[in-house]
Amino acid sequence: MKVVYPICCGVDVHKAFFVATIITSDGITPHYQKKRFSTFNNSILKFKRWLLDNNCIDICMESTGKYCAHS
C-alpha cells in the first residue's frame, strides 16, 4: 500500500475527552503514538503542542453528531 501521508493524526472525540493517535511511517513500518486529552482549553493547547512537536499537520476526525444548532 502506498503511503500518502507519512505523518498524520486520527482523533476520536468524546464529550469530556478525546483520544488522538499520531501515525508515522518510514514507508515500510507504521509507528503509533496514542494520547488522551481532556476537552478543557489547557489540554487542547497540549494537544496542539504534541502535534507540532511531532511535525504533524494532517489531522482527521469522524463526525461526532450534533454539537451546534443551525437556525
Residue 48 lies in a domain: yes
Q: What is the DSSP letter of 58?
A: -
Q: What is the per-residue pLDDT for 32?
A: 97
Residue 67 lies in a domain: no
| Local confidence band at 69 (pLDDT 50, 70, 90 cut-offs) | low
Residue 55 lies in a domain: yes
Q: What is the per-residue pLDDT for 68?
A: 63
Q: How many domains are there within the chain?
A: 1
High-pLDDT (> 90) share of the chain, %: 70
Residue 38 has pLDDT above 80, yes or no: yes
Residue 1 lies in a domain: no
This model's pTM is above 0.85: no
Residue 70 lies in a domain: no
Domain carrying residue 45: 7-61
| Local confidence band at 64 (pLDDT 50, 70, 90 cut-offs) | low
Mean of the per-residue pLDDT values of the chain: 90
Residue 56 lies in a domain: yes
Residue 66 lies in a domain: no
The beta-strand segments (E) located in the chain are 7-13, 17-25, 30-38, 59-61
Residue 24 lies in a domain: yes
